[in-house]
Structure 1
């Protein structure tokens, strides 16, 4: 017998606890800036390793659930190598937390908004970033790797610092301080 609907994967205890602590802090009127030590499961990079260890399998279950429930088109399918794509890791964590909260709401409005806004926006961004990349069984490496390496190079970083220093007057000689020095394309009278 085939199930008509598959329930959303239950989060692990640590994720649920982190979300509950954040809800309690919000209910108490505490500002987010004053809560830097609380894990935010929708932002895995800022979570403690013990939470991430439980977060990854849940996100993997969520990805499978999304594929089985919502991926009719191939561009809506989350690739099996999703964890090798930092943008998918970040987006999937947000989408999973939004879906969890929406599914637990007392009225259907939050879940309707998740269907109307969060899920389609996720699919659009994923298709925009991956296209039909990473077909089943074949992970494609990051196409922009060489561009990122060039950006991270010592030469490029120094060139940017020189431009920043030139804009702020740091490291500028007294001779080169006129309008055309500040704006090389500016026409001086």
Structure 2
């Protein structure tokens, strides 16, 4: 009896490489590396480091094309994780993960840490990712999602409590409590004495702050 090769699955490598992401993602990481380790001229060229997009925090990626590449990258990462690291169904990242903000935040950070570990010159970072980052993420995902999305995305169970949290009466109560605390601090005279102002020089192009001349006393 022979087996029809056409019905057999094509040969696949034992393991799949971690997704690299698109060109704009690689550029974003390159600029972040320059901002941290580049020469003064290179740092000046990339501009204020606070304004650089950080792929591990998608909300900072405001460029439309970069944002699209971030979502495509995370989609590839989730598929890679589900294929390479999941055996029991309880650890599968659900297909509706983009509808779970907590998963979006965590997957982006997990992908960044895996990328950094894979680029390192030793295996230490990758071992820590396997030991701490990935299991910690899976445990938190299981604790939050439980079995809500096994058969498709389910309505946010905590939506009614969130609505109550943001409602006017509840918000007013919290604001009142904050105000009472501030008033109590003023009455007790616990405000720290103000120090003399300290001047600094800010480079408007790079955002770097250097100490300015000391204030002259009258």
Give the drift of 1:35. 2.0
| Counterparts of 2:14 and 2:147, CA distance in 1 | 28
Cα distance between partner residues in 1 of 2:109 and 2:180: 40
Unaligned runs of 5+ in 2: 1-10, 188-218
Q: Larger % of helix: which?
A: 1
Among candidates 138, 148, 160, match of residue 133 of structure 1: 148
Aligned residue for 1:11, secondary structure, equals coil
SS of alignment partner, residue 169 of structure 1: helix
Give the alignment of 1:72-91 within 5 angstroms: 72-91=87-106
- C-alpha distance in 1 between matches for 2:133 and 2:33: 20
- Whether 2:25 is the aligned partner of 1:15: answer yes
Deviations 1:35-62 (A, max 9, x none): 2210010001122142211100110110
CA RMSD after TM alignment: 1.9
Tell me if the contact between 1:76 and 1:127 (Cα under 8 Å) persists in the aligned partners: yes
SS at match of 1:2: coil
Q: How does 1:65-144 map to 2 (within 5 A)?
A: 65-136=80-151, 138-144=152-158
Distance 1:101 1:131 in 2: 30
CA distance in 2, matches of 1:167, 1:100: 45
C-alpha separation in 2, matches of 1:107 and 1:168: 51
Kept after mapping to 2: 8 A contact 1:63/1:78: yes
Most deviating of 60-69 and 106-115: 106-115
If asked which structure has higher relative contact order (CA below 8 Å, sep 6+), I would say 2
1:50-102 per-residue CA deviation (whole Å, 9 max, x = no partner) reads 22111001101100110011111222100000000000000000111111111
Any gaps of 5 or more consecutive residues in structure 1? 171-176, 178-189
Normalised by the length of structure 1, the TM-score is 0.83
Query: Over alpha carbons, which structure has the higher Rg?
Result: 2
Match of 2:166 among 146, 152, 158: 152
CA distance in 2, matches of 1:108, 1:4: 20
TM-score where L is the length of structure 2: 0.72
- Superposed CA offset, 1:104-140 (max 9, x none): 111111111111111111111111111122114x101
